[in-house]
A = this chain, B = another copy of it.
Amino acid sequence: MITHLALNSHPNPQRVLVIGGGDGGVLREIVKHESVKEAVLVEIDECVIRVAKQYLPDMARGFDHPKVTLCVEDGFKYLSELTSKFDVIITDSSDPEGPAAALFGVPFYNLLSRSLADDNGIVVTQCSENIWLNLNLLKEFRDTCRKVFPVVEYAYTTVPTYTSGQLGLFVCCKNPTANVKIPLRKWDEETESTINRYYNSALHTASFVLPTWAKLVLNKK
């Protein structure tokens, strides 16, 4: 869901970067998009990749695609030294509280912004906090993103095994007039249903619609 939401918020995603995502699932979904010419994954912990290949082969097959480049490296360091640019960047790390805390601060978001090819550039951050249990944390993180990006929108996807059954994400765009809630690209309905078990273009838009009490906090300008 998160991958397609990210890529379909960009008019022509050719180069895509994943920070984290060592299970390979995001890669597997990225390469379904024909426009993509290169998908780079930067995972700090090679053990995650190794274990995913052993125990989650259906997710880890993302690593086998010829368009994929794998870097075992600290994502923060990778971005600091980056000279090329990306159209879409997906961060798929652990939570804002803990070892991945640096990936949720303004310095990291400045690096992300600088690494985008142009104003169509999209950053999507998976954020396992949810509106039921962590609304204040989500608000704080939204405020962090807003210091760097003019467009920052919260969406959620349903994952029954996550606490409260939801996984949240933020979609950031450099273009202040972008409406990331409407997908810029769509498959026809038949193709869409064969490519994706979860994502569809109606769900793309619906995933931004929040209950009133959460909307009043997270959608406030």
Contacts of A213 in B (CB 8 A): 197-198
Number of interface residues of A (CB under 8 A): 29
- Interface check A141, CB cutoff 8 A: no
- For residue A163, which residue of chain B has the nearest CB? B160
| Copies of this chain, count | 2
From residue 185 to 217 of chain A, which have CB atoms closer than 8 A to chain B?
192-193, 196-200, 202-203, 205-206, 209-213, 215-216
Q: Are B193 and A203 in contact (CB under 8 A)?
A: no
Q: Are B193 and A216 in contact (CB under 8 A)?
A: yes
0/1 interface trace, chain A 152-183, chain B, CB 8 Å (1 if under): 00000010101111100000000000000000
Report the separation of the CA atoms of residues A202 and B182 in the bound assembly, to the nearest whole angstrom: 14
- For residue A132, which residue of chain B has the nearest CB? B160
Known A-B contacts: A192-B212, A203-B209, A203-B212. Give 8 more (CB < 8 A): A1-B211, A158-B164, A193-B212, A193-B216, A197-B212, A197-B213, A199-B211, A200-B212
Please provide the 5 A-B residue pairs with the shortest distance between their CB atoms, ordered closest to farther: A165-B165, A160-B164, A206-B209, A206-B206, A132-B160
